Structure 1
């Protein structure tokens, strides 16, 4: 009997020791300043020294839940990043841009706009197509170049927007809070800073995406450094380009980023104010031809709010959707697959509250 008890005690001790060792290897976070991912691994359990925690976008100094439960109001200190971008974009006016700088500025606008519309929006937010894990990571990094935070943060808030569109719970409704709030103000509210991991369980299981989301400043820094370095090299080895490191940094990064930011934000604000409505959606989402051109197809917002699961947002002739066209080419190259189509219901005229099929 004594021998059996000792054996039981030894087994229990060994089991407890293994649990301790496991917890040492994969510590369970208890800090209220972070989301409890509930997963093992370095990326999920990494905690920077206090002096460096400002580099971690998942760190919530006042407590994560306290931030989420906070009042939805703009805070002055949250405006500094936007002021920083706009001030440096303004400095570009003192540098007459070369043709090279203009091409880089325009090119990076559209390349990064596509990353937002195709990847952040149609892939990460709505899962309207499939891709490989490697491409998924590259798409998240590509979107991160846009300086619109990480793919997981973007997707989590966008999913909440669709659940509560133009209600009191909508984080950026111009109908409820006005144009300025829906365009930029909501981003400066502390309650909207944390990533709502609870609504993106399908994405949080990928540690590489969590890493990019936590350190979302890495892609923009890489882009800015690359532009400056490229400009310096062109200035030295290809003077015919007529550009420099400072010029490419100001025009290619800052000006392009500011214009891109307002282009994307116009969908949150103007697309719920300006345009026509084809479908009854229970909100004020609108179709707008001009915004569709500006955002490579996102302007068909009423279409999208009625059928958010469709990879294509321009449903009818004349509804230009450049993002969808590029995704089709990527499909031919086997980079993406399994497109979720426009449902046949979308073409049932009994659905329409506006018969103007070209403009919605």
Structure 2
């Protein structure tokens, strides 16, 4: 397929997906937010300054770290424990990313690991790269209909704080936007909301799409998860995705010394301060067993390929 054909396919796939489907209020709000933050980015060159760039970077990395540290490693996988005040603090920082409530995000991710790259996976690239990147998040009926709703997060639904955030999560981003506008006007909205949220959204969504498409597999996980170095940098350590699917309970995803994992460095600091406890890591015995499974799988694949 030529370059023109690739671009036509990329542009037509979302159009074909949107046509002939039912939209509910949540999907319309989500689509409207996506369009709004991307349109705001168009104004960024006209309002560029280094302080505004720094604003986007600081807010982007802070809310992004909230997602990776709180939503993902702490709440979804319970790979470490925090005092409740600190657990709730990081969860609130993650809410300001506008990537969903803690209950919704964690539920989808737990189902992702339960049904990785099968027909029940919420965002597998088996249904197309575009679907795994953005299409899935714009179709809540299809997403939650696959497994009957929020049935795997009872531990979080019992906590009033998470129930509150579940019903109000977008409101907190609106409040943040109002604060930014009061401080610096429209340029602060462009960089502090538009640029920051667009970059953070795509950084997270690339783990679902690129992290199951490109890169290499260090471990036999039986799915499409890959390790991708540039996604490891962009996603604060989340790009070592094959490592994560091999040891999903691990607080550390960059298992080699050269695999940069910013989220793990923060967890390690919290542990050193006595704030993070019960930090889970794969034992050497577990890694050796997984490595042996991988080698056996590779040999079996080579033999079957020769036959």
In the alignment, what sits opposite 2:234?
294
Aligned partner (choices 153, 157, 165) of residue 104 of structure 2? 153
Deviations 1:165-211 (A, max 9, x none): 11111110002x10111001001113236994310111111011110
Tell me the distance in 2 between the aligned counterparts of 1:312 and 1:215: 31
Tell me the distance in 2 between the aligned counterparts of 1:230 and 1:351: 56
Q: 1:185 to 1:353 in 2, by over 3 A?
A: farther
Pairwise CA distance, 1:230: 2.6
Superposed, which structure 2 residues align to 1:292-331 within 5 Å? Answer: 292-331=232-271
In the alignment, what sits opposite 1:94?
46
Tell me the distance in 2 between the aligned counterparts of 1:74 and 1:171: 18
For normalisation by structure 2, the TM-score amounts to 0.82
Aligned partner (choices 36, 39, 42) of residue 84 of structure 1? 36
Superposed, which structure 2 residues align to 1:190-209 within 5 Å? Answer: 190-191=140-141, 192=143, 196-209=149-162
Contact 2:102 2:166 in 1 (8 A): yes
Contact 1:140 1:212 in 2 (8 A): no
Q: 1:312 to 1:141 in 2, by over 3 A?
A: same
Aligned partner (choices 283, 291, 297) of residue 343 of structure 1? 283
Tell me the distance in 2 between the aligned counterparts of 1:127 and 1:103: 32
Q: 1:118 to 1:347 in 2, by over 3 A?
A: farther
Give 1 or 2: higher helix fraction.
Answer: 2
**Unpaired runs of at least 5, structure 2:** 1-20, 297-307
Tell me the distance in 2 between the aligned counterparts of 1:325 and 1:128: 14
Contact 2:144 2:150 in 1 (8 A): no
Structure with greater Cα Rg: 1
For normalisation by structure 1, the TM-score amounts to 0.70
Pairwise CA distance, 1:133: 1.8
Tell me the distance in 2 between the aligned counterparts of 1:208 and 1:265: 26
- The number of residue pairs the alignment matches comes to 268
Superposed, which structure 2 residues align to 1:23-42 within 5 Å? Answer: none
Q: RMSD between aligned alpha carbons? A: 2.1
